[in-house]
Structure 1
Amino acid sequence: MAFVSTDNYIVSDELALAVNAAVTLEKPLLIKGEPGTGKTRLAEELAQSLDTELIQWHIKSTTKAQHGLYEYDAVSRLRDSQLGSDKVQDINNYIRPGKLWQAFTAAKRPVLLIDEIDKADIEFPNDLLHELDRMAFYVHETGEQVSATERPIVIITSNNEKELPDAFLRRCFFHYIRFPDADTLRAIVAVHFPHIQPQLLSTALEVFFELRELPGLKKKPSTSELLDWLKLLLAEDIPAEVLTDKQQKGGLMPMFGALLKNEQDVALVEKLAFLAKRQGR
C-alpha cells in the first residue's frame, strides 16, 4: 500500500510517509495538529483510496473505552422480562456491538477512526491499550471472545487538549500535521476552487497569513475556514482590491465572520486597524 495525494485531498510527503509506516508496522497512527488541518478528512480519504469501510468513533467527554467494545442493555432486558417477552431467553438481544467490535469483525480490512481522543477522560487511552494490542476482547455476559479477523487500520486524532499517557504513545506511530505553507494552500484551494482568479487567491492568502500572524489572536483561522471564506468571496464576487481596503468596516476584511470566531479577535483587528490609520496620518 502507498497512500498519496488524491484529486480531492492534498497530503504532504511527511504525512503520506507516516500513514504508510503505521500500516506497515500495524500500529495505530496518532495524528495531532491544529483544528481544521484535515485530521478527520485523512481517515475518510484513506478509506476511499483503499475502497474499504470507514468506521468512525467520535469521542466525547462522557465516552468510556467499554463503549467501543460493547454495551449490555440490562434495563431493556429487565423490562422485557417483566412483560413476559421471549427475547429475554437470548442475552445476545441485549448486547450492542461498539465500534471496535464492528472493526474487528468487518468482512474487509476497514479504517477505524478514533476521533478527538483527548476529549475523553485521562484514563480512556490506557483502557484501550489491551484491546488495541491484542486486537481482541472478551464479552463477559456471553463468554464470547471477539477477535479481529484482520487488523484494522487505526487512525487516532487529537487536538492536544490533554496530554496522552506515555504507555499509550509508545504503541502508536505519531505524526503532527504542520500548518500548510502558501504553496500547499494554493494546491488545496485549487482542488476546491479550480477556476479562482490568481490575483484574488494571492491577495486572500496574503490577508489570511497576516491575520494568523497577529500577536494576541485568540484563535488562528484554519484551512477549512480559509476555504469557507473563499467560497463566500466568490459567491459575492468580491474583487481582490477590496480585501486590502483597510477603510472597510473598521479595518475588517469582507466576510470576516468566516475567519474570526470570537469578539476578542474582532476587537483586536479593529484596534490594530485604528492604530495603523492614526499612524498613517
Structure 2
Amino acid sequence: MAVSDTGNPEQQGFQSTENYIVSNELALAVNAAVTLQKPLLIKGEPGTGKTRLAEELAQSLDTELLRWHIKSTTKAQQGLYEYDAVSRLRDSQLGSERVHDISNYIKPGKLWQAFTAEKRPVLLIDEIDKADIEFPNDLLHELDQMEFHVYETGEQIKAKQRPIVIITSNNEKELPDAFLRRCFFHYIRFPDAETLAAIVAVHYPNIQKKLLATALEVFFDLRNVPNLKKKPSTSELLDWLKLLLVEDVSPSELANQQGGLMPMFGALLKNEQDVELVEKLAFMSRRSSR
C-alpha cells in the first residue's frame, strides 16, 4: 500500500496487501479520509476486517498503531489523560518527594500519545458504539481541533501532526449527527464469493479449488437462511475451513451433509436457536424431496 506520510495519497493509494484484501470502495474511502484529514468511520458486520484495516494501514506506513478499545464503561477523558489522585494522596501521606510534581500522577491516554508521536501514527478507536451515547460528542473538540487542555498542569497538548484516525462500529447504537459530520464514512459490505475466495487464498493458498467452491456454496446458503439470528462472518469462514482441512473433509463429504448440518458446524453457528433452525429447514427439505 502507498499512502504518503504527508497526508496526500500517492498515485496508487491504498491497495490490497499480501495479507489483507480490500474492495475498491474501501480503498477509496481510506484515501479520501487521509486526504481530507478526517477520521474514517468504518461500519460493518463483525468479522469483516474493520480492526484489521487499521493494523494493515499502520504496517504499510511503517508507523505505530495506537489501539483504544472501547468498553461500555470507557469515558472520553480516558483517551486524553487520567489523573491518579489516589496515588498522590498516598505518596503525600508517606512523605514522598514525587508529590510536589503533579505531572507524576498524570497518565497520558491514547489521544495524547497520538498527538505527541514523532511520526504520524494510526489511531484506532475500536467499537465506539459500545460506549455511552455521549462518548462520541465528548470527543468532538479534540478530534476536530486536535488539541486539549490539561487542567491539573495547565498544559495545552496540541498534535504535532494529525494522526490517521480509524473508528470502528458494529452498529449497536446510532452515533450523534454532530460526530458523523466530522467523519468520512464507509460501510464494509459483506464480500461476494469472488472476494471471499481471494481472502481464503491469502490464508490457505493450497486449498483444493473444488473444496473451496463447495464450502463457499454451503457458507452462502447458510447466510441466506431466513431468520438466522447470527449470520456467519468472514473470520468464522476461515476458522471453519481450517477445521475442514485439519479433518481432511472431502468436497463430496461436504456436499452430502448428514442430518442437515455441515461438518464442524460449531465454527459457523453460534447459538442453539440457529442450530435448531438449520436442522428444521433441512428436515423439511428432505421430506419435500421424497
**Band the TM-score falls in, shorter-chain normalisation:** over 0.9
Supply the distance in 1 between the matched residues of 2:85 and 2:219 (Cα, whole angstroms): 53
Select which of 10, 30, 36 maps to 2:21.
10
Select which of 116, 141, 144 maps to 2:152.
141
Supply the distance in 1 between the matched residues of 2:281 and 2:255 (Cα, whole angstroms): 14
Select which of 62, 72, 84 maps to 2:73.
62
Partner of 2:262: 253
The structural deviation recorded for 1:3 is 1.2
Deviations 1:165-208 (A, max 9, x none): 00000000000000000000010000000000000000000000
Supply the distance in 2 between the matched residues of 1:185 and 1:277 (Cα, whole angstroms): 29
Partner of 2:189: 178
Letter of the aligned partner of 1:209 in structure 2? F
Letter of the aligned partner of 1:28 in structure 2? P
Asked if 1:82 is matched to 2:116, the reply is no
Asked if 1:47 is matched to 2:58, the reply is yes
Letter of the aligned partner of 2:128 in structure 1? I
Partner of 2:8: none
Partner of 1:34: 45
Partner of 2:137: 126
The structural deviation recorded for 1:279 is 1.5
The structural deviation recorded for 1:57 is 0.2
Matched pairs, number: 279
Partner of 2:9: none
The structural deviation recorded for 1:96 is 0.4
3-state SS of paired residue (2:43)? strand
Unaligned runs of 5+ in 2: 4-12
The structural deviation recorded for 1:152 is 0.1
Matches within 5 A, 1:102-251: 102-246=113-257, 248=258, 250-251=259-260
Supply the distance in 1 between the matched residues of 2:289 and 2:223 (Cα, whole angstroms): 23
Supply the distance in 2 between the matched residues of 1:52 and 1:198 (Cα, whole angstroms): 37
Select which of 274, 277, 288 maps to 1:279.
288
Partner of 1:264: 273
Supply the distance in 1 between the matched residues of 2:251 and 2:46 (Cα, whole angstroms): 27
The structural deviation recorded for 1:280 is 2.1
Supply the distance in 2 between the matched residues of 1:185 and 1:229 (Cα, whole angstroms): 13
Deviations 1:214-233 (A, max 9, x none): 00100000000000000000
Identity across aligned pairs (percent)? 82
3-state SS of paired residue (1:251)? coil
3-state SS of paired residue (1:75)? helix
3-state SS of paired residue (1:238)? coil
3-state SS of paired residue (2:139)? helix
Letter of the aligned partner of 2:253 in structure 1? V
3-state SS of paired residue (1:254)? coil
Letter of the aligned partner of 1:251 in structure 2? G
Supply the distance in 2 between the matched residues of 1:83 and 1:243 (Cα, whole angstroms): 69
Supply the distance in 1 between the matched residues of 2:206 and 2:49 (Cα, whole angstroms): 22
| Runs of 4+ off more than 6 Å | none
Unaligned runs of 5+ in 1: none
Supply the distance in 1 between the matched residues of 2:91 and 2:243 (Cα, whole angstroms): 54
Supply the distance in 2 between the matched residues of 1:240 and 1:268 (Cα, whole angstroms): 24
Deviations 1:116-169 (A, max 9, x none): 000000000000000001100000000001110010000000000010000000
